[in-house]
Amino acid sequence: MGIDLKTVKHISKLSRISLDDKKAKKLEADLNSIFSFIEKLNELNTENIEPLTSIAETTLQLRKDEIKIKNIRDQILKNSPEKNKDFFVVPKVVD
Amino acid sequence: MSDIIDLTLVELVSKIKEKKISSKEIISAYVERCEKSKKLNTFITTDFENALIKANEFDKNPNYEKKLPGIPLAVKDLFCTKNLRTTAGSKILSNFIPTYESTVTENLWNEGSILLGKLNCDEFAMGSSNETSFYGKVQSPVGKNLVPGGSSGGSASALAGRLTPATIGTDTGGSIRQPASFTGTVGLKPTYGSCSRYGIVAFASSLDQAGPMTNDVKDCALLFEVMSSYDKKDSTSVNFKRSNYLKNLNSSIKGKKIGIPKEYRVNDMPKIIEDLWQKGINIIKDAGAKIVDISLPNTKYALPAYYIVAPAEASSNLARYDGVKYGFRSKGTNLIDMYEKTRSEGFGNEVKRRIMIGTYVLSSGYYDAYYLKAQKVRKLIKNDFDEVYKKVDAILTPSTPSSAFAIGEKTDDPVSMYLNDIFTVPINLAGLPAISIPSGHDPKGHPLGLQIIGKAFDEQNIFNIAYFMEQQINFKSKIKDWWI
């Protein structure tokens, strides 16, 4: 099964990664070569096989939702590319 | 001071405990060598000044009860270090200062170790040659213009170049064992659930494991002992009895059954790799262990399944990089445009390629055909191992299908790059432990490794086998300091 340029552009939209035409063309070639390699799995009949969702055989541990680290708001905000007082700033979303 | 850098981790620990050497002497020797080794491009961020301050503090008030007293360590830049920049080799995290410490590095510092700096790696640990880092390619100390392997390439290079007495990496599909093999060092991918994933920049969460990279097996046992812990902050951390791996190291392998899987004898395997494998088999036979021919029939499906599972999980894990709360941001005309430009400019080509693969295989209409199928194949691969472990104690294979290649040799063909991990990927899919030990050189003098795969949580057993083989092989590094 081939992946065409239109599909590449659709995946780029879903991935929120902008692509120019040159990059999209290159990716089309790369993805086709990778997927032709992946298609090898179709040789294998997996009809009655249970999928392996987690390698850890224990059930996931639950813990109490407790605050352990306090008063780090300023440190966290420091990592933000754009902030205003106590808020993260993003481009305008409502008019 | 040149003798300090020739000591193993275990030797350094005893020297410091015997008060024959101070932490400051050790750290000064390493800092001096790191300063002269910039050509290797192993460090993304150094923390030498702090390291020297901490060494002085240690010497003033030493605690010899610790397992790594006053010992410097550089770590892969995938581990979050509190108040010290953590980049994962990516532009998108170029100014990220974590507010917390990863559990694994916390364990190192709690045992008295001192951070030297953060080591280069493939971007988000995606790569097998350390050529995808935003911070530049890493040179191998083995030879000029040779890749150190990846993704823990900076770690392997720093260790083999003696810029750190030991280091830690992460292994999602071979990222510890392949660079260890390429640089003539020891690398362990522990059982999934042994080392906490808390605070490690996530790539593929069901496969990622942190592990030690060291000069010999004793060092590896010691470092694993320190790193491994049960951690409530990682919901897949496993609460099993962790032992004193170094103290319990035992090189008798008599009576053990070692499996040789026929499917690893791949077509066009270079003769040098086949000979290396045979050398390993002979060593085991001569020691009175039993060689058992085994079959892992689904081996050839491991790599294709991996290239569905790993990118799928990566595309989901990397969705968090949106340029809002931390990291790099590009300007956009609106919110969506800002996201798209941030991710397009912030991620490198290999990372974008994998996000796209992952997004595609998880997208509507394709989930069953790809992701579900790959999870079923993963089950078959795990069943293969479960079946053979009824008959054998461990499995011996080569670590890689070739020795290190030249920088730029495989960058244009992603599939040929992926094939590097053909012997290591199945082990991650099955969640098992495996160690790579240096076992020989090719005619060019480039190191080659053998891999010992164990049962889940049976690290002691593979340490013991590796320890025995190491003594028999008596590998000697041929690295000359070409970069100094």
SS3 track for B368-408: HHHHHHHHHHHHHHHHHHHHHCCCCCEEEEECCCCCCCECC
Query: Strand A83-84 relative to strand A87-88: parallel, antiparallel, unpaired?
Result: antiparallel
- B253-262 average pLDDT score: 96
Q: Is B129 a catalytic residue?
A: no
Active-site option among B151, B157, B399, B439: B151
Q: Which of B54, B66, B67, B76 is catalytic?
A: B76
Q: Is B84 helix (H, G, I), strand (E, B) or coil?
A: strand
- Tell me the shortest Cα–Cα distance from A85 to chain B, in angstroms: 14
Residues of B in contact with A11 (CB under 8 A): 356, 359-360, 363
Given CB atoms, is A94 within the 8 Å cutoff of chain B? no
SS3 (DSSP) at B449: strand
HSE (side-chain half, CA atoms, 13 Å) at B68: 28
The amino acid present at B406, given as its one-letter code, is A
Band (pLDDT 50/70/90 cuts) for residue B304 is very high
What CATH topology corresponds to A5-43?
A: Histone, subunit A (1.10.20)
- Say which range, A43-52, A65-74, B54-63, B156-165, has the weakest mean pLDDT: A65-74
Number of H helices, E strands in chain A: 3, 2
Taking CB atoms and an 8 Å cutoff, what residues of chain A touch B335? Answer: 90-93
Residue B89 CA to residue B351 CA, distance in Å, equals: 11
One of B90, B128, B175, B439 is an active-site residue; which one? B175
The tokens describing B434, both together, are 């495996």
Q: Hey, is the C-beta of A76 within 8 angstroms of any chain B C-beta?
A: yes
Residue written as tokens 């999928």? A51
Going by DSSP bridges, is the β-strand pair B72-76/B114-119 parallel, antiparallel, or unpaired?
Answer: parallel
Q: Is the pLDDT of residue B1 over 50?
A: no
Residue A63's closest chain B neighbor by CA? Answer: B232
B432 near B296, Cβ under 8 Å?
A: no
pLDDT of the residue at B417: 85
What is the rounded average pLDDT for all residues in chain B? Answer: 96
Say whether A25 sits in a helix, a strand or coil: helix
> How high is the pLDDT of residue A57?
65
Which residues, numbered 35 to 74 in chain A, qualify as contacts with chain B under a Cβ-Cβ cut-off of 8 Å? 35, 37-41, 44, 46, 49-56, 58, 60-61, 63, 69, 72
Q: Does this complex have an ipTM over 0.90?
A: yes
Based on the residue annotation, tell me whether B76 is a catalytic residue of this protein: yes
Looking at the predicted structure, is the pLDDT value of residue A59 above 90? no
Q: How far apart are CA B455 and CA B458, in angstroms?
A: 5
The torsion angles phi and psi of B394, rounded to 5 degrees, stand at -160, 170
Per-residue pLDDT tens digits for B169-204:
999 999 999 999 999 999 999 999 999 999 999 999
- Rounded to the nearest 10°, the torsion over CA B162, B165, B169, B175 is 40
- Window from A2-6, B21-25, B143-147 with minimum mean pLDDT: A2-6
Hey, what long-range contacts does B20-24 have (CB within 8 A, 24 or more apart)? B22/B55, B22/B59, B22/B70, B23/B54, B23/B55, B23/B56, B23/B58, B23/B59, B23/B62, B23/B69, B23/B70, B23/B71, B23/B114, B24/B52, B24/B55, B24/B56, B24/B59
Q: Which two tokens stand for residue B252?
A: 């008798």
Comparing alpha-carbon positions, the chain B residue that sits nearest to A37 is B304
Out of A17, A41, A55, closest to residue B355 by CB: A17
| pLDDT of res. A1 | 56
Tell me whether the omega of the peptide bond preceding residue B205 falls within 30 degrees of 0, making it cis.
Answer: no
**Of B445, B444, B421, B435, whose CA–CA distance to B469 is shortest?**
B435
| CA distance to partner chain B, nearest, from residue A47 (Å) | 9
- The residue of chain A with its CA nearest to that of B83 is A75
Contact criterion met (CB < 8 Å) for B99 and A72: yes
| Distance in angstroms (rounded) separating the CA atoms of residues B340 and B54 | 43
pLDDT band at B418 (very low <50, low <70, confident <90, very high): confident
Asked if the model's pLDDT at residue B396 lies above 70, the reply is yes
- Residue B357: which of A31, A61, A91 has the nearest Cβ? A31
Q: Chain A partners of B326 at a C-beta cutoff of 8 Å? A: 76, 79-81
Pairing of strands B434-441, B186-189: antiparallel
Per 3-state DSSP, chain B is made up of helix, strand and coil in percentages (nearest 5) of 40, 15, 45
What does residue B434 show for φ and ψ, rounded to 5 degrees?
-155, 145
Report the residue of chain A nearest B319, measured CA to CA: A15
Write the residue in B235, B301, B307 that is nearest to A61 by C-beta.
Answer: B235
Note whether A81 contacts B328, CB cutoff 8 Å. Answer: yes
pLDDT above 70 coverage of chain B, percent: 100
Q: Residue A58 carries which DSSP code?
A: S
Residue that the structure tokens 């390619």 belong to: B137
Give CA angle at B186 (B58, B125), nearest 5°.
85
Q: What tokens appear for B188 in the block?
A: 């362990």
- Count residue pairs from A and B with Cβ separation < 8 A: 161
Q: How large is the average pLDDT for residues B216-228?
A: 98
- Inform me whether the pLDDT recorded for B314 exceeds 60: yes
In this structure, which amino acid lies at residue B297?
P
Q: Which of B101-105, B301-305, B394-398, B411-415 has the lowest mean pLDDT?
A: B411-415
pLDDT of residue A93: 86
Best residue of B80, B300, B354, B356 to probe chain A, by most A CBs closer than 10 Å: B356
Query: What's the pLDDT at B252?
Result: 86
